[in-house]
Amino acid sequence: MKPETRLGPNTADVAAKVIDGEAIIMNLANGLYFSMDEVGSAVWEMVEAGFSLGEMSDRLQARYDADRETIAGDVNRIARQLLDEGLVVETEADAPLHDGPGGDGGRGTYAAPTLNRYDDMADLLALDPPMPGLGALPE
């Protein structure tokens, strides 16, 4: 993917949350769910903020003690995985929505982001498909 590619959460099917530097991402359409630790959760926060892949790499390079090539390769790989799992979609935006995650001021130890995949709900979901949500009632 190109550095200027921007991704956003697949809001139709996905719910996600970042807590204490870890992300949990649920694909409610197929029952698969995922977690990502520190660097991965930062990537997810930047996805939510509408960063391009290049901007993600810039931000991670400023925060971690790793070379640009390694980081850019990892960002590209994890972005591809997120796309393949249907967790994100490519967007047409030409700028981030906001500043994204802040750093703690220091340069942390870099660990390649990993998308941990859990499929224990998927088989059950196949037997018992979810019903689409209904809108809220008027006040």
Partner 1 sequence: MTERTQGAFARPGVSPTNDLADLADGFARAWESRPDERHERWFTFADHPIRIRVAGAGLAGDVFRAFSHLEREPDGSAPALTVDLWDEGETGVGVEGVAPSGDLNDHGETYASDDGFVVVTARPQTRTALHRVERRLIGWVADHGRLTQYELGRPLHSELMLWHKDRGVQAIHAGLVARDGQGVLFGGPGGSGKSTTALTCLKAGFEYMADDYVALEARPDGAYDGHSLFCSTHLEPDHLQKFPYLRPHAIPGRLPREDKSLVLLSDVLPNGLSRKARIRAVALPRVVDAERPSVRPATTIEALLRLAPSSLILLPYAGVAAGEFEKLSTFLENIPKYWLELGRSMDEIPDRIGEILERHT
The answer to the question of residue 87 lying near partner 1 (CB under 8 A) is: no
- Closer to partner 1 at the Cβ: 105 or 133? 133
The answer to the question of residue 17 lying near partner 1 (CB under 8 A) is: yes
Are 46 and 9 within 8 A, CB to CB? no
CA dihedral over 55, 56, 61, 67, signed as positive or negative? negative
The answer to the question of residue 80 lying near partner 1 (CB under 8 A) is: no
Radius of gyration of the chain, Cα coordinates, nearest whole angstrom: 16
The answer to the question of residue 89 lying near partner 1 (CB under 8 A) is: no
Q: By CB under 8 A, name the one of 31, 40, 50, 113 that touches partner 1.
A: 31
Q: By CB under 8 A, name the one of 7, 14, 42, 87 that touches partner 1.
A: 14
How far apart (Å, rounded) are the C-alpha atoms in residues 86 and 27? 8
Our measurement of the distance from residue 134's CA atom to the centroid of its chain's CA atoms, rounded to an integer in Å, reads 26
Of 93, 114, 107, nearest in space to 51 by CA: 93
Nearest 5°: the CA angle 63, 68, 69 is 145
| Binding range to partner 1, per CB under 8 A, among 27-35, 49-57, 64-72, 83-91 | 27-35
Q: By CB under 8 A, name the one of 1, 3, 8, 22 that touches partner 1.
A: 22
* Residues engaged in binding partner 1 (CB under 8 A): 9, 11-12, 14-17, 19-20, 22, 24, 26, 28, 31, 33, 35, 118, 120-121, 124-125, 128, 130-138
